[in-house]
């Protein structure tokens, strides 16, 4: 009898469930992590761009980028 009463009332309780503070904190933490991830990615992309400029020089002389296939085979 108690199980029937709990089953009937659980559907009304389930429809009243809201995310609340815990849901907000989880979404907020994910947003903060995403911010720092994108910031780190931009920093790494700027480093790659700077490395390309050092290989190409001032524009007058263009040095070739080292390739992985040009290794010596012994």
Q: Which residues contact 52 (CB under 8 A, 6 or more apart)?
A: 65
What dihedral do alpha carbons 19, 21, 22, 27 form, nearest 10°?
A: 80
Residue 34, pLDDT score: 98
Query: What are 1-47's pLDDT values in tens digits?
Result: 455 555 555 556 667 778 899 999 999 999 999 999 999 999 999 98
- CA distances to 8, 50, 68 from 45, rounded to whole Å, are 57, 9, 21
**Higher pLDDT residue, 65 or 30?**
30
Main-chain dihedrals φ then ψ at residue 61, nearest 5 degrees: -115, 130
**Residue 7 confidence (pLDDT):** 58
How many residues can be counted in the chain? 74
Q: What's the confidence (pLDDT) of residue 10?
A: 56
């Amino acid at each position: 009898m108690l199980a029937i009463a709990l089953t009937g009332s659980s559907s009304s309780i389930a429809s009243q469930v809201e995310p609340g503070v815990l849901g907000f904190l989880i979404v907020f933490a994910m947003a903060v992590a995403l911010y720092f991830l994108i910031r780190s990615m931009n920093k790494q992309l700027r480093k790659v761009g700077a490395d390309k400029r050092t290989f190409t020089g001032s524009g007058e002389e263009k040095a070739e980028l080292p390739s992985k296939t040009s290794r010596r085979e012994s």
